[in-house]
Structure 1
Amino acid sequence: MARPRGRIERLPGVRVLLVAGLGLWLSGCASMAYYGHLIKGQTEVLAARTPIAEVVADPDTDETLRRRLQRVDQARGFAVAQLALPESGSYRSYVELDRRYVLWNVFAAPEFSMQAYRWCNWLYGCFAYRGYYREAPAQREAERLEAQGMDTHIGGVPAYSTLGWFDDPLLWSMMYWDDDTLLETLFHELAHERLFVKGDTAFNESYASFVGEEGLRQWAASRGLPPPSASVQRQRRSGFVALVEDTRRQLESLYSQPLSTEAMRARKTEIIDAMRARYRRLRDVQWDGWGGYDHWFDAPINNAKLLTIGLYHQWVPAFAALFAEMGEDWSAFHDAVEALADAPRDERRNRLEQLAAQQPGARAPR
């Protein structure tokens, strides 16, 4: 099958460094510093890899970690055999570094717009975020954009994919999650290795999110475990996302109105404050006081932060409909997604909107 246009190819490690070096040569000083930072950070991660088999066999390994690594190894085999995801060297090794996150992503948006600021480069296309291996340069980038009047947000990243260019390791920062989230993320990141469309964040992340969610459901079913969607944690997550999405729609409506800057700013604050109040009612009444999202609502909230929620799920209903249309056959589904990836962007979006409309209760994304 022909490779979809705009897809990033898997390259040997040495060639990746040569390509990155060419990018530095073609870039200005600021870009040179950024790409140099990426190369240094990625090299640090790769150099710290230890084969999972060695970690499991080590008598000093914590028993909980040993059990979880063994489960990841089983799930990786399941992903290849049952989900038609790529057999590669990824997630066969483990890395542990002395910091909370492996990356920090910067998000930005205009003060009165829900359109994400996009960072573009010649190699990957455009993204609605920019990643840094250290928090300090991420903070400097956020400050630069704030000086231009942008809303900004910095979020810690526990996991990421190099899209198959390197054999990605399992990261220590993923171990803070429960088993369901860990395995769902594994399937998600392996989906990125199978398919990545240059410059279409919503498509890429929604596709990988669907694969992660449906893959986890099938994994649980194959082992006689309760459906993940039935868990209290997932119901709370759904309620949180729905609340944020409703707030975004209110703000989109507000920003289309011909108001003065002062009036717009005041109304924006009112809508965000109302969202906080709705969250507290949700927490105290429906969730019996469970405050797992208190830290998110207690911190400053702006357009950039609101855009981070739901970014990975915009087209999940469309991919769910496509999976059903393909008879829940994973190979046929991936082939159909690749055909969508080959289509021009407008045609691809129209097809996704049609698919999303087929899902009961689905609302076509803006």
Structure 2
Amino acid sequence: MKLRCVAFERPGRGLLDYVFRGFVPGVVLLLLSGCSSLGYYGQLAQGQWQLLRARQPVARVIDDPKTRPALRQHLQRAEAARAFASAHLQLPDNRSYRVYADLGRPFVVWNVFATPELSLQPTTHCFPIAGCVAYRGYYRQGAARGAAALLRQQGQDVYVGGVEAYSTLGWFDDPILSSMLGWGDERLATLIFHELSHQQVYVQDDTAFNESYATFVEQEGTRQWRAAQGLAAPSDSARQQREQFVALVLRSRERLQAIYAGPSDDSAKRAAKAAEFARLRAEYRQLRDGPWHGDGRYDAWVYGPLNNAKLLPFGLYDQWVPAFAALYRQVGGDWGRFHRQVAALGRLPAAARNERLQRLAPPRAGISD
């Protein structure tokens, strides 16, 4: 299952939006994989089926006189963004994000991440279509918490995060979900651009490639979407803060990696791990209270429990964005040529693909494999 993560716009929810960006369909996994328990795939199939049953055409919801005015306005603007995505950004022209589903809950899926206590190596789960991913998704919060508790009993570091949207990579008509509507109209538009990019090009077992490509399309698409509406370019301040925060976490992760790989015994490594998380919080405070002028948008994440598993998603979604930006410039801003070039890159072996991306533009400072 492919779960989405967008920008750290707000403590808690905004951070989770960034940390998870959509991942493959439960029911397809049930049909195509025999490598896990029937119970786990059963809940995926049931959750996906309930989601499919809840879908309604956006046009029908808009025309329904019982629809709340605020919802109607959200969906009307989303329709305009959806049309722009296919007509201008040359993203797939299908029924995805032209249907709506009311979930009746704040998250569509809860993801469970896990690592050993003294390692940053994730516990991975491999699926036929999505490839190997560093989490498991659950449609019920109780099931996610139960799975997390079992992993903790095994001595693993565990992190559970609620996800407000995911993509089925074109296997189904992905709906606009009620859980997405609190983001605002522009955030909803950027989600549509991002998730349709996954339908355009998706490379198995290369999360950094997939997410960096979709993130570039989201960012450049949003800039062009705003221009088409006569709006000013989006402010860089939020993006810069996000990049600074991600770099801060990645530096902490690199220091932890060195600690775990070092010669100290487990007791000393545990003490060094605790000291490193204290350092992360102290460096965050300096950033927040200094150049950010007290903006505490990441307080909830930083001051919540910290462990290895909570650090796993960082560094995947921006790594190759500069390379894709360079490729877009090379083709003169022609979206069709751009998508074809990206697809050609995706067909290369992993080593050749990364070498080509490195030649286009090195990854951003502090973000690496």
For the criterion TM > 0.5, the same-fold answer is yes
Unpaired segments ≥5 residues, structure 2:
1-24
**Pairing partner for 1:36 from 31, 35, 42:** 42
SS at match of 1:153: strand
- Contact kept? 1:317, 1:362, Cα under 8 Å: no
Are residues 68 and 234 of structure 1, via their aligned partners in 2, closer, same or farther at CA, if it must alter by over 3 Å?
farther
Amino acid at match of 1:192: H
1:217-241 Cα shifts (integer Å, max 9, x gaps): 111122222222x154334323322
The one-letter amino acid paired with 1:321 is A
The aligned residue for residue 32 of structure 2 is 23
Query: Corresponding residue for 1:118?
Result: 124
Verify the 8 A CA contact 2:62 2:72 in the aligned structure 1. yes
Match status 1:278 vs 2:287: no
Structure 1 residue identity aligned to 2:211? E
Contact 1:353/1:365 (<8 A) preserved: no
Instruction: Quote the residue 1:324 is aligned against.
Output: 329
**Equivalent residue in structure 2 for 1:291, among 274, 290, 296:** 296
Q: 1:309 aligns with which of 309, 314, 317?
A: 314
C-alpha change, 1:22 and 1:52, in structure 2 (3 Å) is closer
**C-alpha distance in structure 1 between counterparts of 2:185 and 2:142, whole Å:** 31
Could you tell me the percent identity over the aligned residues?
A: 50
Provide closer, same or farther for how the CA distance between residues 325 and 364 of structure 1 changes in structure 2, counting only shifts above 3 A. Answer: farther
CA–CA distance in 2 between the matches of 1:21 and 1:270? 43
Distance 2:146 2:361 in 1: 39
State the 1:124 CA deviation. 3.0
**Alpha-carbon distance in structure 1 between the residues aligned to 2:195 and 2:290:** 36
Whichever structure has more helix as a proportion of its residues is 1
Alignment map for 1:1-366 (pairs within 5 Å): 22-23=31-32, 26-27=34-35, 30=37, 32-228=38-234, 230=235, 232-357=237-362, 362=365, 365-366=368-369
Which one-letter code corresponds to 1:246 in the other structure?
A: R
Residues paired across the two proteins, number: 345
CA gap of 1:117–1:21, structure 2 versus 1, over 3 A, is: closer
Greater mean deviation of Cα atoms: 346-355 or 258-267: 346-355
What TM-score do you get using the length of structure 1 for normalisation?
A: 0.87
AA at the equivalent of 1:242: A
For residues 244-301 of structure 1, the C-alpha deviation after alignment (integer angstroms, 9 at most, x for no partner) is: 1222222223333222111111111111111112222332333333322221112111
- The 3-state SS of whatever aligns with 2:323 is helix
Contact 2:180 2:188 in 1 (8 A): yes
Letter of the structure 1 residue corresponding to residue 162 of structure 2: G
C-alpha contact 1:356 1:362 (8 A) present in aligned 2: no
Report how far residue 111 of structure 1 moved: 2.6
Rounded Cα–Cα distance in structure 1 between residues aligned with 2:129 and 2:199: 16
Unaligned runs of 5+ in 1: 1-12
Assess, with a 3 A threshold, how the Cα gap between structure 1 residues 252 and 327 changes in structure 2: closer, same or farther: farther
- Matched position secondary structure for 2:121: coil
State the alpha-carbon separation in 2 of the partners of residues 335 and 362 from structure 1: 28
In structure 2, C-alpha distance between the alignment counterparts of 1:324 and 1:109, rounded to whole Å: 39
Contact 2:250 2:367 in 1 (8 A): no
The amino acid across from 1:118 in the alignment is: T
Query: What SS does the aligned partner of 1:308 have?
Result: coil
Q: Which piece of structure 1 moves more, 211-220 or 320-329?
A: 320-329
How far the C-alpha of 1:21 sits from its partner, in A, is: 5.6
TM superposition shift of 1:303: 1.5
Q: Deviations over 1:50-71 (max 9, x none)?
A: 2211222233333332222111
Does the C-alpha gap of structure 1 residues 95 and 81 become closer, same or farther in structure 2, counting only changes over 3 Å? Answer: same
Contact map agreement 1:107 1:116 (CA 8 A) in 2: yes
Q: Given the two structures, how large is their TM-score scaled by the length of structure 2?
A: 0.86
